[in-house]
Chains A and B, each alone.
Chain A
């Protein structure tokens, strides 16, 4: 069976189009050529209508192959990169900030030592505090303990009990103070 592609005018048209599309990627070129071939086939009623004038009319309506190729090269407005989901990680939200500060402040009493460590891990993973504030939040209990021990030494207390008290007050007071400090200094992102 002869197809419309055997018609000289159609063959010439498709050759021109192929030439015009030469710079396009092969798969795209094939899709376009295939679509146009099919269009001609359908428009001419499966090759039954061979009247040269009718053939020419179909090709005219398809238009200049150069215009088709130009449309092919015309990248549509490039799709923007998929928008980052506007989900602020839990840690950076207000609720995450409060949980972190509470764990640092009192977590160590609820779940001895471990709660405090978890709090510190959250604190250092968060973007809601500046590094300086994270350092203060972490070191405050030690600093306060050191100061109280120093005071105890200055008072020339030889009783071990005062040293223990200084450590106890330093650790407990220091951690609670650290939690409160973090609550005040937090800059939640969302």
Chain B
């Protein structure tokens, strides 16, 4: 499997949780979220954030709010619901264990 394909597969299971994780810091608006996750290498491109957000809204883990902007049109803010909060905490815990296990096996077996 080439590196791009491998990376795409690895992202699949975790990127939604990373979206939720950013919102733990407080509400965000789409552009900031997209740039941060793309910058971190977690999204292939900024636009792929929006299907994720649509899914997270549909599943009730994320909710949105409009805020009037002094300069320009109102902006949409995204934030965690209590269900989203629980999801990301569960992921955080599971991820740390899992990442630690992968790390250990790679270190033990690597040259």
Binding site for B on A (CB under 8 A): 3, 17, 27-28, 31-32, 35-36, 38-39, 41-43, 45-48, 61-65, 67-69, 71-72, 74, 76-77
Task: Check A63–B44 contact: CB distance below 8 A.
Answer: yes
Task: Check A67–B12 contact: CB distance below 8 A.
Answer: no
Interface of B (DSSP majority class): helix
Q: What are 29 pairs between A and B in contact, CB < 8 Å?
A: A3-B73, A28-B54, A35-B49, A35-B50, A36-B47, A38-B30, A38-B76, A39-B34, A39-B46, A39-B50, A42-B31, A45-B71, A45-B72, A46-B71, A47-B72, A61-B38, A61-B45, A61-B46, A62-B46, A62-B47, A64-B45, A67-B45, A67-B48, A68-B47, A68-B48, A72-B51, A74-B12, A74-B51, A76-B12
With an 8 Å Cβ cutoff, the count of chain B residues facing the other chain is: 29
Cβ-closest chain B residue relative to A43: B31
Whole-angstrom distance between the alpha carbons of A72 and B50 in the complex? 8
Whole-angstrom distance between the alpha carbons of A48 and B46 in the complex? 21
CB-based A-B contact count at 8 angstroms: 84
Which residues of chain B come closer than 8 Å to A3, judged between CB atoms?
Answer: 73
User: B55's contact among A67, A69, A76, by CB below 8 Å, is which?
Assistant: A76
Cβ-closest chain A residue relative to B38: A61
Whole-angstrom distance between the alpha carbons of A114 and B51 in the complex? 63
Task: Check B46–A63 contact: CB distance below 8 A.
Answer: yes
Task: Check B73–A46 contact: CB distance below 8 A.
Answer: yes
Whole-angstrom distance between the alpha carbons of A184 and B34 in the complex? 65
Interface of A (DSSP majority class): helix
Cβ-closest chain B residue relative to A21: B51
Q: Is B69 an interface residue (CB 8 A)?
A: yes
Q: Is B21 an interface residue (CB 8 A)?
A: no
Task: Check A71–B30 contact: CB distance below 8 A.
Answer: no
User: Which chain B residues in 69-85 approach chain A with CB under 8 Å?
Assistant: 69, 71-73, 75-76
Whole-angstrom distance between the alpha carbons of A64 and B35 in the complex? 16
